[in-house]
C-alpha cells in the first residue's frame, strides 16, 4: 500500500528516527512503512494520522496509489 | 547511533542472557561443590537450577516482547514459523541417516549424551533457520 508518509515527514523536516521516536516504533519500521513494504496495523495507522492531524485515507492510498 | 528503543531492547537481551548464565553457573557450582557429579540427586538439582535460569530468561523475554514494535513482532512470528518448519524438514533426513547407523560410528557413551546431541542439533538448526528467515524478512521490507 502506498502512502504519503515520506512527504509528510519531509514537510516537517523530521528524520526517520524522529518520526520513529514520536510513533514509538523502530526506525526500520518507519522505513518499511514509507517504502510501502509493510502495511501498519489499524492502531498504528490511527497514531500516524493523529500525529500528522490528517485523516487516514489522505495518508494511505488504496491500491496502486490512485486517489482514495 | 542507537536509539533509546534499540538500547532498551539490547539491554533486555543482555540481562536475559547474562543473568540466566550467572544464575546457572552460580547454582551449578554450588550444587557440584556439595554433591558428586553423577547421581540422581545431582541430576534433579542441576535440572532445577537450569529451570530457574531459564525462568529468569523467560521473564525478560516477555518484557522484551512488549517493547518490540509491530513490525519487529511480525518479523519474529515469520522467522519462528518458517525457521522452525525449515529446521524440522532439514534435520529429519539427518535423523534418519544416523538412526540407520549409516556411518557405523562407535557408540561408547550413555544414551543421554546422544539424546542431548540430538536436541542440540535441532535447537541449532532452528536458531540458524530463524536467523536466515528473520534477516530475509527485514531485507524484503527495506
CA distance A51 to chain B (A): 17
Residues B74 and B132 in one domain: yes
Dihedral sign, CA of B23, B25, B27, B28? Answer: positive
CA-CA distance, A4 to B133, in Å (whole number)?
A: 29
Mean pLDDT confidence for B121-142: 95
My answer on whether B62 and B77 are in the same domain is: no
Helix axes B4-34, B40-67, angle to 10 degrees: 170
Q: In A, which residues are within 8 Å of B142 by CB distance?
A: 31-32, 35, 37
Asked if B141 and B75 sit in the same domain, the reply is: yes
Cα A22 to Cα B5: distance, rounded to the nearest angstrom? 12
Task: Say whether residue A17 is in contact with chain B using an 8 A CB cutoff.
Answer: yes
B12 phi and psi angles, rounded to 5 deg: -65, -45
pLDDT value at B123 more than 60: yes
Does the predicted model carry a pTM greater than 0.90? no
Give the total number of structural domains in chain B. 2
Q: How far apart are CA B25 and CA B23, in angstroms?
A: 6
A2-3 vs A60-61, strand pairing mode? antiparallel
- Range of the structural domain that residue B33 is part of: 1-68
Burial class from Cβ neighbours inside 10 Å (0-12, 13-18, 19+) for residue A38 reads: buried
pLDDT value of position B105? 78
Average pLDDT, chain B: 90
Judge if B86 and B21 occupy the same domain: no
Contact at 8 Å (CB) between A32 and A38?
A: yes
Q: What is the pLDDT of residues B21-61, one digit of tens each?
A: 999 999 999 998 887 877 888 889 999 999 999 999 999 99
Residue partners of A44: CB distance under 8 A and separation at least 6: A23, A25, B70
Query: What would the mean pLDDT of B52-80 be, rounded to a whole number?
Result: 94
Q: How far is CA B21 from the centre of its chain?
A: 12
Domains of chain A: 2-57 (1.10.260.40)
Instruction: For residue B140, give the nearest of A17, A29, A37 by CB distance.
Output: A37
Backbone angles phi, psi at A60, to 5 degrees: -105, 125
Instruction: Judge if B62 and B74 occupy the same domain.
Output: no
Pick from B5, B6, B71 the residue to mutate for testing the A interface (most A CBs within 10 Å): B71
Question: Residue B1: closest CA among chain A residues belongs to which residue?
Answer: A17
So what's the pLDDT on residue B111? 83
Amino acid at each position: 500500500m502506498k502512502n504519503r508518509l515520506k512527504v509528510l515527514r519531509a514537510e516537517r523536516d523530521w528524520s526517520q528516527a524522529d518520526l520513529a521516536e514520536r510513533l514509538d516504533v523502530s526506525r526500520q519500521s518507519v522505513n518499511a512503512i514509507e517504502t510501502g513494504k509493510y502495511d501498519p496495523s489499524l492502531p498504528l495507522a490511527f497514531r500516524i494520522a493523529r500525529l500528522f492531524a490528517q485523516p487516514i485515507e489522505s495518508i494511505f492510498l488504496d491500491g496502486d496509489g490512485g486517489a482514495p | 547511533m542507537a536509539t533509546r528503543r534499540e538500547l532498551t531492547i539490547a539491554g533486555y537481551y543482555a540481562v536475559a542472557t547474562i543473568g540466566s548464565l550467572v544464575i546457572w553457573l552460580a547454582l551449578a557450582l554450588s550444587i557440584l561443590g556439595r554433591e558428586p557429579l553423577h547421581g540422581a540427586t545431582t541430576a534433579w538439582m542441576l535440572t532445577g537450577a537450569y529451570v530457574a535460569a531459564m525462568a529468569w530468561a523467560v521473564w525478560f523475554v516477555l518484557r522484551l516482547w512488549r517493547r518490540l514494535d509491530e513490525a519487529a513482532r511480525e518479523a519474529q512470528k515469520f522467522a519462528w514459523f518458517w525457521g522452525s518448519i525449515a529446521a524440522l524438514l532439514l534435520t529429519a533426513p539427518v535423523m534418519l541417516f544416523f538412526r540407520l547407523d549409516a556411518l557405523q560410528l562407535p557408540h561408547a557413551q550413555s544414551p543421554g549424551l546422544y539424546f542431548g546431541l540430538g536436541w542440540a542439533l535441532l535447537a541449532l538448526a532452528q536458531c540458524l533457520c530463524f536467523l536466515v528467515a528473520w534477516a530475509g524478512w527485514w531485507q524484503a521490507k527495506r
